[in-house]
Amino acid sequence: MKRLAALTLLASLASSAFAQTFDDKFRQLDELLPTPTDTRTASGAPGHAYWQQRADYRIRVTLDEAKRAVSGSETVTYHNKSPDTLTYLWVQLDQNMFRADSANRNIASYPSREAWKTAATPGGQAGLQYEAARFLVESRKFDGGFKIASVTGSNGRPLKVVINKTMMRIDLPQPLKPGASFAFDMAWTFNVPETNVLGRRMGFERFDKEDKNDLFEIAQFFPRMAAYYDAHGWQNKQYLGDGEFTLEFGDYEVEITVPADHIVAATGELQNADVVLTSAQRERLQRARKADKPVVIVTQAEAEANEKQRATTTKTWRFKAKNVRDFAFASSRKFIWDAQGFKKGDTDVLAMSYYPKEGNPLWEKYSTQAIIHTIDSYNKYAFDYPYPVAISVNGPVGGMEYPMISFNGGRPAKDKKTGALTYSKNVKYGLISVIIHEVGHNYFPMIVNTDERQWTWMDEGVNSFMQFLAEQAWEDHYPARRGEPRNIVDYMKSRNQQPIMTNSESVTNRGANAYAKPATALNVLRETVLGRELFDFAFKEYAQRWKFKRPTPADLFRTLEDASGTDLDWFWRGWFYGTDAVDVSVDGITEYTIGTKDPEVEQAWKRAQRDAQPVSVTDQRNAGTLARRVDAHPELKDFYNAHDDFTVTNADRNKYNATNEGLEDWEKALLKEGKHLYLVDFTNVGGLVTPLVLQIELQDGKKYIERVPAEVWRYAPKKITKLIVTDAPMVGLTQDPFLETADTDVGNNAWPRKATPSRLELFKSRPPQDDMMKDYAEKLKVKDPKEANKAADQAVEAGKAVE
Ligand SMILES: [Zn+2]
């Protein structure tokens, strides 16, 4: 404890701070963000001159089940809403990623020779040796990609085209003026890749061992307009595999011809239920709209009967979808189908699930419920779901989103002998989470239409954050993987990180970098930096401003600052443009009380301080053993042997009285306040500036939190001394007691230091071998451990391919 004169305190604090090398963590982002324009304002809102292109599609496709191929034709009407005259159009041929000679296949590389054997293969399949080897062989054999049969103008004449891998340029017969439209036709075919062999985001699954049927999940199935927009011109990044899709809004009319006994799920509203559905199915659908739990449209028994058929005729399903940026569908005779309506605010949606019997008992219980839960939760934080349907399909794709429809993996494991289907906790929550995630993608990026090919985090990170909020509302202690700050600590500590602001194709650790870290950052922003009220308003403002429009990162950053009334440049700089971690160390504490200037009080205090000093070893050993000369010869003692250094003299008293008379009343009162002052030294070990969350514990048992804004680091980002004033002596101080800042080393967060509790297990010198396979088999109640092993592998694989 130290005594000091009150007036010198603040001056000494400020001077110590400036002694460090200065790195301005609060520097504005001006040199990193694009200059605001009339299309994108400095506030982060669309400007008065905001524009975006539009493309309407009429598509007719046929699924050839026997050949596992799709053929189609389309009419695209492209509306040039830009202020620019265009002389050519770019079209995306994303199906070409599956070509044996595609850039995706050719640019595959590995960090090391060892890594290629175990790492994920270029198609995103799990790196099990057999699967990886099969991918390498099959991806070079598969005759994939679009075969473009024709590209013609509305007059039927061929248009000049140039194909550049996954892009195709169409040279326009005449320049397309601002405000004008251009319609053209294309015809094409492609072979459907087998998802479990070639991946990714679409394909078919074979059930050769079961009923010899296939299940088709079809997407990227037609040439789509590339995006042309104010910030980038034509989106010119090839589809290399990781960066997803950048698309324009439009209206779709799609006719899908499939075997007559197939059930089709698709983006949009079914237009000819009277032709493709039975009257019983139509009646059930009507009932589902007003039901309070899912109504089965095609029962499992009906689906199992369908599995045994092989229709020789076809049926054409007609769908319409308004204001969507893409279209996908699924088709199989294996589908069980259930539905339930949900109406709230401006939302009036039919939630529907399609799954094979292999998905039960999990799917009938959770899928449609999870869809409705997602919409209910996302509506609160973003905007009311505007589309008429929301669909979750179970098939080979681990997790992938399209407008109104999503493909979700996750199934129970099957006992080979008994055929019983059971599931683990991981499979259950993995399925609920993936459905929340993929249905949630309707909001980001299907409606808040970000450029996925540039920025994976803008849809995946934002959506993973929204997913976390929805998971919290599902049940208490929901096992959420991403969003909770303590869960990101291992990644924040890891080496070779990249900033979140890294292009989709260059991100190595997609799950942590583009999903978990931005989701966690937004959660920290909500709970710790801004608080829920300010954050929720600002986030909703972002969603409302940019729904059915295309925001860039700057629009997100600027809107959250603009609508929360808070400069967050330091936060974006640290969390999104950097790779530093939060790690604050509480280094030391000095206690002060304010001097009263009263000599009686002050001298007594000084005496107490002296008496509290430790007794030196020499004094301890001399005590009672060493004969002193002055004791033997008392005549050697004088005035000073009797005088205490802390004796108060009359001169001291007179001086105090004189001074006291000169003090104002408020000055006298201040001296008697009796506050306890602590100077606490903090080091920013991690480098990422953070608010301080200080839990202060007083001697009288009181415990409370002081929240200190991140700006506390503004003068000195590496080391600060902070004054804390308390009413009673402080006995403990903990920084970040609830682990809300993602602090990577909590060992240095407390004063006095706390030992980290940990368990040390003692082993026999030869430990028994873990039989995890047996454990897992017991958990799944599966007799044959090999089957459990396979189920575990499948779970891992499904988890890996979630987008
Ligand atoms: Zn996703």
Cα of 799 vs centre of ligand 1, distance in Å, is 12
CA distances from 396 to 52, 194, 299, 346, 416 (A): 35, 9, 21, 33, 20
Q: How far apart are CA 337 and CA 277, in angstroms?
A: 12
Measured in Å, residue 308 CA sits from the centre of ligand 1 at 35
CA of 795 relative to ligand 1 center, distance in Å: 17
The predicted structure's pLDDT at residue 66: 96
DSSP-assigned letter for residue 798: H
Distance from the alpha carbon of residue 791 to the mean position of ligand 1, in angstroms: 23
Contacts of residue 638, defined as CB under 8 A and 6 or more positions apart, other chains included, come to none
Say how many Å lie between the CA of residue 37 and the centre of ligand 1.
Answer: 30
Q: What is the SS3 assignment for 3?
A: strand
CA of 519 to the centre of ligand 1 (A): 12
Q: How far is the CA of 453 from the centre of ligand 1 (A)?
A: 13
Peptide bond into 753 cis (omega under 30): no
Q: Kindly give the parts of the chain with pLDDT less than 70.
A: 1-21, 114-129, 764-801
Q: How far is the CA of 689 from the centre of ligand 1 (A)?
A: 29
CA 24–ligand 1 middle distance (angstroms): 35
For residue 461, the CA-to-ligand 1 centroid distance in Å is 8
Q: What would the pLDDT profile of 149-174 be if each residue is shown by its tens digit?
A: 999 999 999 999 999 999 999 999 99
In angstroms, what is the span from residue 553 Cα to ligand 1's centroid? Answer: 17
* Centre of ligand 1 from the C-alpha of residue 469, in Å: 15
CA of 694 to the centre of ligand 1 (A): 36
Give the Å distance between the CA of 411 and the centre of ligand 1: 19
- Joined together, the tokens standing for residue 708 give 């200190």
**434 C-alpha to center of ligand 1: Å?**
9
Expressed in angstroms and rounded, the spacing between residue 50 Cα and the centre of ligand 1 is 27
Q: Which candidate, 69, 207, 240, 65, places its Cα nearest to that of 143?
A: 69
Cα(659)–Cα(596) distance, integer angstroms: 12
How much is the pLDDT for 21? 67
Amino acid identity at 627: A
Ligand 1 centroid–CA 510 distance in Å is: 11
Model pLDDT for residues 241-287, shown as the tens digit of each residue? 999 999 999 999 999 999 999 999 999 999 999 999 999 999 999 99
- Tell me, what's the pLDDT at 778? 59
Which stretch of DSSP H or E encloses residue 115? helix 113-118
Q: What is the CA(532)–ligand 1 centre distance, in A?
A: 24
Q: Say how many Å lie between the CA of residue 399 and the centre of ligand 1.
A: 7
Give 437 Cα–ligand 1 centroid separation in angstroms.
6
Which amino acid is it at 660?
Answer: N
* pLDDT value of residue 740: 98
Reduced to 3 states (helix: H, G, I; strand: E, B; else coil), residue 218 is strand
Angle of helix 650-661 relative to helix 599-612, nearest 10 degrees, comes to: 120
Q: Which two tokens stand for residue 482?
A: 């991403």
554 C-alpha to center of ligand 1: Å?
21
Tokens of 794: 């499948």
* Ligand 1 centroid to residue 658 C-alpha, Å: 76
**pLDDT for the residue 116:** 66
